[in-house]
Amino acid sequence: MCIWYWKLTKLFRFYERGLIFATETIRCIKALGILCVINWLLLLAEHLNPEAAAIRLSMAAPPPNAKVYLFHLDFFSFSIYGINVGLLLAGIIIVTIAWIMDEGRKIQEEQELTV
């Protein structure tokens, strides 16, 4: 989490200097997306760990007549079988944005060389 905030601060410093389509900026955005995906994988591993699941169930057992949903949708996240997929999608979207910005940077460099 600290690395993510450090990279985000670094990204804003690049923007402050006007480096929007610079290689360093794009690399920083891509790192933010990859960190989101890694965080999701770590959360998934914790969720699938049988010992952690037993502790979670013992601490937060639902009441007998409570509804258990297989699919849950919130504003920024959604869960399938209790696994939040929103962070994974956010990471994929951030990496895709970095890829599109990199393509824009390449086009911009190509236009600068064209007479």
Q: Tell me the whole-structure pTM to 2 decimals.
A: 0.73
Please tell me the predicted confidence (pLDDT) of residue 99.
Answer: 96
Tokens, residue 94: 């951030």
For 37-50, write each residue's pLDDT tens digit: 998 898 888 878 77
Per-domain boundaries in the chain? 2-49+69-113
Q: What parts of the chain have a pLDDT lower than 70?
A: 52-77, 82, 115
| Token reading at 80 | 């399938």
| pLDDT in the model for residue 52 | 61
How buried is 62 (Cβ within 10 angstroms: 0-12 exposed, 13-18 middle, 19+ buried)? exposed
